[in-house]
Amino acid sequence: MRTARRIEKLPPYLFAEIDRKVAQARARGADIISFGVGDPDLPTAPHIVEALIDAARDPATHRYPSYTGMPRFRESIASWYGSRFGVKLDSDDEIQPLVGSKEGIFHLPVAFVDPSDVVLVPDPGYPVYETGTILAGGEAVLMPLVPENGFVPDLDAIPQGALERATVMWLNYPSNPTSATVDLSVFERAVSFCKEHDLLLAHDAAYTEITFDGYVAPSVLQADGAMDCAVEFHSLSKSYNMTGWRVGWVAGSPTAIEALKRLKTNIDSGVFDALQRAGIAALDGPGDHLKETVERYRRRRDLLCDGLKSMGVVVEPPRGSIYVWVPVPQGHTSESFTTFLLDETDIVVAPGNGYGPSGEGFVRFSLTISDDRLEEGVERLRKVVT
């Protein structure tokens, strides 16, 4: 058997070594506390679960769903966009439901990248921007995100040669893994840059609803001219604790949405209708569950950041996302500190370099563990970090 070259081209799975060590530690009975994976520990709100149960009992939901999604779900999305961002969207031409946003993020380059085209991706960033590009036959050019620039790419530093071949630029705020947040001006600048260079601006908005301290995350579609050159990916996964359900959507430029729709009819069918009805319940329903979720992450963020501060590790508490991006102590690399924490404290964190070379020198703590485990984790850290 011979695998395709494109599989060989995928970057190595950087967490493989950590996973192996975690499995070993668990096998010897270690009580592992994992700050590793960003998968919400809280249950989905009861009214959303009820909506799914009711919908699943209705045989009308049991057939192939339409590719373009239920009109009623797209209307809910459009109305949510209007009230949340003040952005008016046409629910027919400017919104496409997805089987989780990762599905659409991965497939976008298939519609927008020819062999040897370049995709500009944030470094560090969600790995799918790069792997999707590689599997579509394109080339990913990294845009370094560093603390000095507030983890915002320096657009003037993009090499001219790469820019000439580029067709897509990815952004993601609030950011995974850096937890950086931005104001609308960053999107305005990016939109005019992408228009000038004829790029599709693709914004991954997985965390816009999880923000703290009065900060409200903008949508890229609020920027002037965005509807000509930008799309935005949303997901119910993180804000509604629905990672296993697989419901997301992409919205924005009707030309881009048209291309993504054409592609999608050839790849899969739509989102299970019962899930779309649950999605309507999430978007139209009472907002208290989301508020409680956000409040819980804020508390956990403070527990972790205050704990780290008392050990002399100062991190600015992030204004959004479910992560804290922490510089490693002097003398350590991302990898060595991750291994040190696992060996000495049975704590798992995600090494920053796993998200791109500019993530070197950081580790990512995910806030998706219960408060008491988090407190126990902070106590263990206190014993080894001085």
Ligand X SMILES: *Cc1c(COP(=O)(O)O)cnc(C)c1O
Q: Which stretch binds ligand X (CB under 6 A): 95-103, 136-144, 150-158, 376-384?
A: 95-103
For residues 255 and 360, give the distance between their C-alpha atoms in angstroms, rounded to a whole number: 38
Contact string (CB under 6 A) for ligand X, positions 220-259, x = contact: ---------------x-xx----x----x-----------
- 172 versus 253: smaller Cβ distance to ligand X: 172
Strands 139-144 and 118-123: parallel
Q: Assess contact for 300 and 374: CB atoms under 8 A.
A: yes
Q: Which of positions 173-192 make contact with ligand X (CB under 6 A)?
A: 176
- Rounded to a whole number of angstroms, the minimum distance from the CB of residue 8 to ligand X is 25
Among 34, 172, 276, 338, contact with ligand X (rule: CB under 6 A): 172
User: What number of chain residues touch ligand X (CB under 6 A)?
Assistant: 15
DSSP alpha helices (H): ranges in 230-313?
A: 254-264, 273-284, 288-310
Smallest separation, CB 246 to ligand X (Å): 7
100 binds ligand X (CB under 6 A): yes
- Helix axis angle, 288-310 to 371-384, nearest 10°: 10
Binding of ligand X by 81 (CB under 6 A): no
Residue 276 binding ligand X, by CB under 6 A = no
Classify residue 196 by burial, with Cβ atoms within 10 Å: 0-12, 13-18, 19+. exposed
Q: Residue 339: is it exposed, middle or buried by C-beta count within 10 angstroms (0-12/13-18/19+)?
A: middle
In the complex, the smallest distance separating the C-beta of residue 40 from ligand X, rounded to whole angstroms, is 9
- Could you tell me which stretch among 60-68, 77-85, 96-104, 149-157 binds ligand X (CB under 6 A)? 96-104
Q: Which span sits near ligand X by CB under 6 A: 97-105, 150-158, 185-193, 342-350?
A: 97-105
CB count within 10 Å of CB 162 equals: 16
Longest CA–CA span in the chain (Å) reads 61
Q: Give the CA count within 13 Å in the CB-facing half-sphere of 120.
A: 34
Angstrom distance (rounded) from CA 72 to CA 53: 18
Spacing of C-alpha 156 from chain mean position: 25
Q: Can you state the percent helix, strand and coil of the chain, rounding each to 5?
A: 45, 15, 40
Q: CB 105 → ligand X: shortest distance, Å?
A: 6
C-beta atoms surrounding 59 within 10 Å: 7
Omega prior to 174 cis, within 30 of 0: yes
Instruction: Give the interface segment with ligand X, choosing from 58-66, 94-102, 265-273, 371-379 (CB under 6 A).
Output: 94-102
Least distance from C-beta 244 to ligand X, angstroms?
9
126 binds ligand X (CB under 6 A): yes
204 part of the interface to ligand X, by CB under 6 A: yes
Per-residue contact string for residues 19-48; x = within reach of ligand X by CB under 6 A: -------------------x----------
> Judged by CB under 6 A, does residue 101 bind ligand X?
yes
Cα(274)–Cα(280) distance, integer angstroms: 10
DSSP letter (8 states) at residue 329: P
Stretch that binds ligand X, among 100-108, 152-160, 224-232, 311-319 (CB under 6 A): 100-108
Q: In the bound complex, what is the minimum distance in angstroms from residue 3's beta carbon to ligand X? A: 25
> Which residues are at the interface with ligand X (CB under 6 A)?
38, 100-102, 105, 126, 172, 176, 204, 206, 235, 237-238, 243, 248
